[in-house]
Amino acid sequence: MGAGVSDLGGLYVLGTERHTSRRIDRQLRGRCARQGDPGTTRFFLSLEDELMRLYSQGSAGKLLESSFEEGQPLEHRWLNPMIERAQKTVEQHHYSVRRRLLQYDDVGSKQREVIYGLRNDALLSDEPKEIIFELIREEVQHRIEEFAVSDPKAASEKDYQDYLNWVCQTFPVSLKEQELTGKSGADIEKLTLSRIEEAYQVKEAAEDPQMLRQLERMVVISNVDRNWQTHLTEMEDLRQSVGLRGYGQKDPLVEYKSEAFGFFEQMMNQVRTDICSGIFRSVTNMRAYQNMIAHLQRTARTTGPAGPDGAAAGAVAAQPAVAGADSGAHTSAAAGKPLPSVKRTPVRIANEPARNDVVTIRKGVETQKLKWKKAEKMVKEEGWLLVEEK
C-alpha cells in the first residue's frame, strides 16, 4: 500500500452486484484489507439483479419498500441475511448439478476401466495370444448356448448345422456333425477349441514369431478402438435423450445406467466376435497366408469335407487383411492373380427405419441388434439383410 493511503482509510472496494457464490464476495471483501491494512467494502444492488430476481422470491423488494424514505438509500439490517440465503440456494443447486453429472460420468468411468484394462493387457503382454484365446473361449461358450447344442437330448440337427456353419465361417477348421452328436456342451467346447488351436499352430508355423506378436496386438487394439469409438457416440446420444424420460415418471439416471450396461455388453460381444473373425484373416505378409492355405488344403484332402459344400476351411477363403499393405493389392492364393475390384450396388430399402430405431440384421447364421444409423452401411454395402420383426 502506498504512502498516505492508510491515513485516508485504505483501499475502498465498490461492488456493483452480489455474486451467486458467497466465496467470491468474500474474496472481494478480502481485497480491501490485506495483512491488517485498513480498508472498506460497499456493495450496490438492484432489485432487477439476477440473484434478487430469481432467488429472493420477491421478499427483498417488499421489505425495502416498507422502509423507503424519499432521498434515502434503500437499506435494511435483514438484507444481508436474505441475500446469503439466496446465495446458499444457488450453491446447493450448482452442487446438485455437479453431483448428478458425476453420477453419469461414473457409469462411463467403470466401462473405461474395463476397456483400458483389455487394451493395456494387449500392449504390455508378452503373449497377446493368451488374451485372444481367452476371448475365443468366451465366444465359443456363447455360441454353444446361442445355438442350443449344449444339451445333446434337446439339440436338433438344425442346431448342430447352425453351429457348424458359424465355426467354419469364423475359423479355418474342419468339424463334422457326427463329431458333435451326443456330446455335452463342455465336450463340444473342448473339441472346437482343440481344432482352433491346431489351426493356429499352422498359422504360427507360417508366420515370423515377432511379427505375429505385433499382429496379435494390432488385431486386439484395432477392434477394441473401433468399437469403443462407436460406443462412445451411442452413449453421448443416450445421454442427450434420456432426460426426456423424466416426463414419464422415470428416473433418467436409472434409465441411463440400465441402457448403458446393455450397450456396453453388446459392444463387448461385438469386440469378441470381431477379434475371433479377424485373427485368422490377418497376416503379416501374403507368402505366409499362401503357406497357411496350402497346409490347410492338404489337411482338408486328408480328412475330407466338413460340410455339404465340400469346404473344410471356408473361413479362410476370403481375402485376409495384410498388415502394412494396401487392401486393394491382395492376390488370390489359389490362382496367384490379382482379384478384380467389384463395386457392390447399394441396396434400396422401402420404409427405411428411423436413425435411432433398433433393428435386427442377419448375414448367414450371424445376427445382430443395433441402431439403424450403425446398421445402414452394413445393410446397403456389406451384404447384411434387414430382418423384419413381426
Band of residue 1 on the pLDDT scale cut at 50, 70, 90? low
Q: Based on the domain organization, do 314 and 219 belong to the same domain? A: yes
343-368 average pLDDT score: 73
Within a domain: 97: no
Q: Based on the domain organization, do 248 and 297 belong to the same domain? A: yes
Task: Report pLDDT for 336.
Answer: 40
Task: Report pLDDT for 308.
Answer: 41
Q: Based on the domain organization, do 171 and 310 belong to the same domain? A: yes
23-50 average pLDDT score: 78
Q: Between these two residues, 146 and 382, which has the higher pLDDT value?
A: 146
- Containing structural domain, residue 57: 11-90
Task: Report pLDDT for 337.
Answer: 42
What domain count does the chain have? Answer: 3
Q: Between these two residues, 65 and 176, which has the higher pLDDT value?
A: 176
Band of residue 301 on the pLDDT scale cut at 50, 70, 90? low
**Quick one: three-class SS letters along 326-373?**
CHHHCECCCCCCECCCCCCCCCCCCCCCCCCCEEEEEECCEEEEEEHH
Task: Report pLDDT for 339.
Answer: 38
Q: Based on the domain organization, do 275 and 381 belong to the same domain? A: no
Q: Based on the domain organization, do 278 and 198 belong to the same domain? A: yes
pLDDT in tens, 46-59: 767 777 767 665 55
Q: Based on the domain organization, do 204 and 303 belong to the same domain? A: yes
Short-list 304, 305, 306, 295, CA closest to 165 = 306
Within a domain: 2: no
Q: Based on the domain organization, do 383 and 274 belong to the same domain? A: no
Q: Based on the domain organization, do 349 and 333 belong to the same domain? A: no
Q: What is the mean pLDDT of the chain?
A: 78
The amino acid at residue 2 is G
Within a domain: 96: no
Asked if residues 314 and 337 have their Cβ atoms less than 8 Å apart, the reply is no
Cα 7 to Cα 3, 11, 13, 30: the distances in Å are 9, 11, 16, 19
11-23 average pLDDT score: 81
Within a domain: 130: yes
Band of residue 113 on the pLDDT scale cut at 50, 70, 90? very high
Q: Based on the domain organization, do 303 and 378 belong to the same domain? A: no
pLDDT in tens, 199-230: 888 888 888 888 889 999 999 999 999 999 99
CATH code of the domain in which 249 resides: 1.10.3060.10
Q: Based on the domain organization, do 85 and 180 belong to the same domain? A: no
Coil, strand or helix at 2: coil
E strand or H helix at 273: helix 252-279
Q: Based on the domain organization, do 181 and 267 belong to the same domain? A: yes
Does the pLDDT value for residue 69 go beyond 60? yes
Q: Based on the domain organization, do 253 and 286 belong to the same domain? A: yes
